[in-house]
């Protein structure tokens, strides 16, 4: 009978979405992007600046062990050389430091009895953790934007002041060092002091700090939310899209295809930044476990990164028409400035109360509390829900609906911030015709290409051409108008399901 001995790091990678651990298989896919001669040089120096389980360092060490066998034949000498001269890590917490050392050195103490290396003189070895403090400026940490009210803690409680973005390499490793490769899976977010689900991204600080160190290669896996910016990511997005040194980008639209059992809104990606490279990026788009496409193109072709290589050809056809796009007419979020928890009253309490549509139903709301900056209250308004239908992941059959609620508000009817106002009309027939356009698979397909979170915003409509709404629209009419071929039509049809 065959004895099954599972890799403990595979088990860790499937624990939960609280700490997203990297599986050995994923770590090796990322290492495969690097020039493999790096693992045949005794001088290559590697750093994982955000080690959680130590999987990257272990897999790097395994490759070096094989690659240096001819140069350093003695196994123990080879191990000692790799562990002391080539492989370095900075842990995220005390706990992950011990886990990482256990993975790399086979014991949580680098100088312990059972350590694979015989030359370390202290517990941490080259896999170090330095407890840091946030630097508060106006209630926020100047390094990571942590909220002081939440993270100004006593030393016995974890502060999440990650060493790599709070201290210098010299302070952490006790010496200045230049690295050939920086690779890792950084922490993704920190609570920003808002509601329970409210959080601010933090992974961009790790990427930026790593780039400042100017390694030969940088490879990290991060949420794909940066493609569209927002919530502190606009500057980071602009830097990444304009960066011609990003040679490879591997994109997972569904995070579960990369991290089984983990749902990260907007998916995830990993990239290789090559200091000596300047050119187009090879983008591999993985839409399911068995489906992927690869294309070479500029990351900054549009304001957001279009992640699907087939979709970008359709978008180009649409935009070549030169028509105005819908993002120019969609109203800003929370146009009427009515919070989502408002319900209104069952009956009018004042004669000028307006009808209010909310997630709770229909009620009446005081006109005096309604904001109407562009004077659209007296018009017919086409609205959709602000949140994407089903979240940013496909249904069980692998396709999307995108929009969950579509309706027309009549004059003197308003909505809460749960909804987004797409456009306004003087005549109800024009509003009805716009609804036929919104229901098409083409409309929702184009909208989907600019979405990397569950929230639909004004900017999400930048690929959707504005139409003539004096008549209704169907997909067949749109396919013909923009000259889509049978393969492009089949692609749209397979990705978007009919709207309920």
pLDDT at 1: 38
Q: Are residues 47 and 172 in the same domain?
A: yes
Q: Are residues 289 and 339 in the same domain?
A: no
- Answer whether residue 321 is part of any domain: no
The residues with which 65 forms a beta bridge, in sequence order, are: none
> How many domains are contained in the chain?
2
Mean pLDDT rounded to a whole number for the chain: 90
pLDDT at 397: 63
Q: Are residues 395 and 472 in the same domain?
A: yes
How far apart CA 227 and CA 171 sit, in angstroms, is 33
Which of 266, 297, 316 marks a domain boundary? 316
Among the ranges given (204-208, 226-230, 333-337, 472-476), the one the predictor scored with the smallest mean pLDDT: 226-230
Cα 303–Cα 305–Cα 311 angle in degrees, nearest 5? 115
Q: Are residues 380 and 281 in the same domain?
A: no
Residue 228's domain comprises 8-316
Q: Are residues 46 and 69 in the same domain?
A: yes
Q: What is each CA distance from 269 to 107, 227, 305, in whole angstroms?
A: 32, 10, 12
- Answer whether residue 500 is part of any domain: no
- Answer whether residue 488 is part of any domain: yes
Q: Are residues 343 and 235 in the same domain?
A: no
Backbone angles phi, psi at 207, to 5 degrees: -65, -45
* Comparison of pLDDT for 153 and 22, the residue scoring more: 22
Q: Are residues 59 and 90 in the same domain?
A: yes
Q: Are residues 28 and 141 in the same domain?
A: yes
Give, as one character, the DSSP assignment of residue 380.
E
User: pLDDT grade, residue 4 (50/70/90)?
Assistant: very low
- Answer whether residue 2 is part of any domain: no
Sign of CA dihedral 274, 275, 276, 279: positive
Q: What is the CATH number of the domain that holds 69?
A: 3.40.50.150
Type and span of the H or E element at 268: strand 268-274
Q: Are residues 166 and 18 in the same domain?
A: yes
Q: Are residues 412 and 269 in the same domain?
A: no
- Answer whether residue 162 is part of any domain: yes
pLDDT of 264 above 60: yes
- Answer whether residue 383 is part of any domain: yes
Q: What is the pLDDT of residues 375-430, one digit of tens each?
A: 999 999 999 999 887 655 566 666 888 998 999 999 999 999 999 999 999 999 99
Which of 316, 347, 377 marks a domain boundary? 316
Q: Are residues 266 and 348 in the same domain?
A: no
Q: What is the largest CA-CA distance in the chain?
A: 91
Give, as one character, the DSSP assignment of residue 383.
E
Q: Are residues 177 and 289 in the same domain?
A: yes
Which percentage of the chain shows pLDDT scores above 90? 72
pLDDT at 309: 87
């Amino acid at each position: 009978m065959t004895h099954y001995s599972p890799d403990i790091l595979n088990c860790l990678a499937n624990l939960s979405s609280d700490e997203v651990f990297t599986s050995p298989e994923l770590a090796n896919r990322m290492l495969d992007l690097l020039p493999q001669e790096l693992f045949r040089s005794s001088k290559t120096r590697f750093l994982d600046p955000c080690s959680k389980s130590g999987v990257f360092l272990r897999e790097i060490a395994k490759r070096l062990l094989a690659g240096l066998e001819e140069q350093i034949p003695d196994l123990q000498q080879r191990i000692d050389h790799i562990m002391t001269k080539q492989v370095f890590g900075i842990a995220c917490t005390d706990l992950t430091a011990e886990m990482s050392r256990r993975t790399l050195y086979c014991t949580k103490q680098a100088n312990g009895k059972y350590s694979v290396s015989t030359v370390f003189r202290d517990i941490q070895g080259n896999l170090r953790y330095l407890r840091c403090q946030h630097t508060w400026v106006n209630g926020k940490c100047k390094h990571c934007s942590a909220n002081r009210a939440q993270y100004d803690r006593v030393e016995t409680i974890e502060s999440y002041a990650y060493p790599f973005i709070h201290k210098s390499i010299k302070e952490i490793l006790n010496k200045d060092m230049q690295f050939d490769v920086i690779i890792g899976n950084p922490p993704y977010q920190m609570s920003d002091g808002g509601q329970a689900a409210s959080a601010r991204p933090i992974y961009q600080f790790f990427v930026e700090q790593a780039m400042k160190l100017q390694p030969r290669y940088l490879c990290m896996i991060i949420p794909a939310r940066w493609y569209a910016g927002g919530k502190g990511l606009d500057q980071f997005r602009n830097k990444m899209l304009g960066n011609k040194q990003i040679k490879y980008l591997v994109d997972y639209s569904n995070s579960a295809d990369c991290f089984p059992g983990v749902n990260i809104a907007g998916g995830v990606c990993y990239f290789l930044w090559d200091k000596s490279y300047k050119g187009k990026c090879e983008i591999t788009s993985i839409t399911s476990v068995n489906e992927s496409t690869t294309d070479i193109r500029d990351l900054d072709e549009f304001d957001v990164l279009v992640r699907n290589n087939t979709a970008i050809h359709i978008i180009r056809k649409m935009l070549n028409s030169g028509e105005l796009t819908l993002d120019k007419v969609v109203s800003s979020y929370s146009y009427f400035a009515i919070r989502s928890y408002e319900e209104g009253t069952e009956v009018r309490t004042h004669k000028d109360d307006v009808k209010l549509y909310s997630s709770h139903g229909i009620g009446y709301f005081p006109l005096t509390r309604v904001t109407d900056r562009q004077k659209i209250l007296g018009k017919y308004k086409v609205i959709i829900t602000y949140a994407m239908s089903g979240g940013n992941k496909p249904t069980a059959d692998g396709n999307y609906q995108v929009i969950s609620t579509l309706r027309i508000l009549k004059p003197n009817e308003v909505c809460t911030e749960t909804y987004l106002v797409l456009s306004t009309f003087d005549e109800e027939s024009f509003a009805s015709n716009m609804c036929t356009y919104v229901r098409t698979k083409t409309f929702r397909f184009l909208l989907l290409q600019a979405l990397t979170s569950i929230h639909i915003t004004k900017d999400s409509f930048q690929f959707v051409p504005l139409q003539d709404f004096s008549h209704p629209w169907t997909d067949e009419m749109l396919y013909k108008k923009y000259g889509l071929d049978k393969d492009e039509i089949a692609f749209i049809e397979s990705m978007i399901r009919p709207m309920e």
